[in-house]
Amino acid sequence: MRRRAFICLALLLACSSAGDADAQSLGSTYTSTAPKDCRQVGKPSELDGSTTRVCPGKDGLIVLIAEDDLRETVSVGRNRKAASEEPAAKVRFGPFNSSESTVEWRSASAKPFAIIQRWHIADSADPDKQGRPNTKAMLVVTRLPPAAVCHVAYVDAIANPNANELARKAADDLARGFMCGKDDVKIIGASGRAVELVTRR
């Protein structure tokens, strides 16, 4: 009886240690999508000023930033062609928008599975003194290959003072099991104006 109890206790401790080790292996690293750190593809369009740039990422991945009509799309892939064919490359928010140049890569045992980026969404209902729309901040969690690349979660950065922590938890808990095209993008934490602007129909 004692021997059986000892074996059960040992198994429980082993499982607990494995879980702790897995949790400890999660972490963040950062890259930049600033124009100076990326390669521009072709010349800006003379018609609408649209641009495309390819930026170095992690673990052999690149980040593809495409801007058209003051709206951006951000995707990830092994190369430009692969990134351009991912679902994330086809997500265009309705309002004018832009993404910040810092990309946070969430990884497990140094293998990235999601990125987090801060976006600024133009709010035409809230103009500044010059009549230009003020922007509202939001964090976007995007899952990475080998499965499809798509948005997993949105976190309103104004409505949630702990937005960064919420985005990391969403990445860690949701990204690896998220089914692009089947699962709905999750709104994490309190919903605010930025999330309202990108999800309204």
Does residue 13 form part of some domain? no
pTM of the model: 0.85
Does residue 1 form part of some domain? no
Who contacts 131 (Cβ-Cβ below 8 Å, separation ≥6)?
none
User: How many separate domains does the chain show?
Assistant: 1
**pLDDT band with cut points at 50, 70 and 90 for residue 42:** confident
Q: List pLDDT tens digits, range 54-101.
A: 999 999 999 999 999 899 999 999 999 999 999 999 999 999 999 999
CA distance 186 to 68: 26
How far from 20 is each of 24, 95, 120, 131, 171, CA to CA, in Å? 6, 42, 36, 52, 18
Does residue 19 form part of some domain? no
Does residue 186 form part of some domain? yes
Residue 155 has pLDDT above 70, yes or no: yes
Does residue 88 form part of some domain? yes
Task: State which residues form the domain around 72.
Answer: 29-199
Does residue 96 form part of some domain? yes
Does residue 70 form part of some domain? yes
Does residue 131 form part of some domain? yes
Who contacts 107 (Cβ-Cβ below 8 Å, separation ≥6)?
26, 27, 28, 29, 58, 113
